[in-house]
Amino acid sequence: MYGGVNDPRMGTFSFNTRCKTCDCTYTGSGSKVNDCPGHFGHIELARPVYHVGFIDDVVKILRCVCYHCSRLLLDKNDYKCQRVLKIKDPATRLRAIHDLCKSKKRCETGSANEMRDELLHTIGFESEAAGESVAGNSGCGSPMPNYSRSGLEIKVDFPEDMIDIPGTGDRKQTLPSHRAYEILKGTAMIPH
C-alpha cells in the first residue's frame, strides 16, 4: 500500500515482486547483482507518538519541567544550576539536571521576592527593590506529578494536595503523547 509502512517504493521483501523505485528484486539476499538495496522513506503521523528508543529520556525531561507552565524546575541563579549548565556532554548534563530536579515537589524556582516582583510587574507596578527582576524565572507554584514508564506508556501520578486534576480527573493516569509534546514544546498552558 502506497504511503504506508509497507510502501513498495522503499524496497521489496519478496522474490516474486520488484521494487517500485529501482525495479530490482528481493532485498537482502546479497547474491544477485540486481538486489534492491532498500530505500529510505518517512511517514507523516496524524498525532505525536512516543519513540521507543527515547521514552526513558522523555520521562527524565518531563521530571525536569513543570507539568502546568513548562518551565525548567531549576533556578538559573543557583550555583548548582550554573555548574550543571556548563557540562558539555548532553547525556551527562541531562543526568545532572535530572538529579537536581527529581526532588522538586512544586514549580517554585524563584524566591518569594522574585515572584512578588513579577506579580507587581504584571499588574503594572514596579517594586523599589526589584532592581534586576528575573521575570521568566519564577515558578507557577503548582504541585508536580510523579512520572513513571510502564511498557511503551508514561504514567503520571498527581499528588494528593492537587485540587484541580487535569485529564480524566483520576490521580493515576496515562500521559498521552500529544500532552507530553505540549509540555515539552512549552505550550502547556493551552486549555484541554
pLDDT per position as a tens digit, 152-176: 999 999 888 777 888 777 889 999 9
What's the predicted TM-score (pTM) here?
0.66
Neighbours of 36 (CB within 10 A): 23
pLDDT score recorded for residue 81? 86
What would the mean pLDDT of 33-43 be, rounded to a whole number? 74
What would the mean pLDDT of 79-103 be, rounded to a whole number? 88
Annotated domain spans of the chain = 1-44, 55-107+142-185
Give the separation between CA 111 and CA 131, rounded to whole angstroms: 14
pLDDT category, 179, cuts 50, 70, 90?
A: very high
Nearest alpha carbon to residue 76 among 118, 99, 110: 110
pLDDT per position as a tens digit, 7-20: 778 877 777 778 88
Q: Tell me what the pLDDT averaged over the chain comes to.
A: 77
Give the separation between CA 127 and CA 119, rounded to whole angstroms: 10
pLDDT score recorded for residue 31? 59
pLDDT score recorded for residue 148? 94
The yes-or-no verdict on residue 24 having pLDDT over 50 is: yes
- Residues listed for the chain: 192
3-state SS assignment for residue 117: helix
Nearest alpha carbon to residue 158 among 168, 148, 173: 173
- Greater confidence (2 vs 88) lies with 88
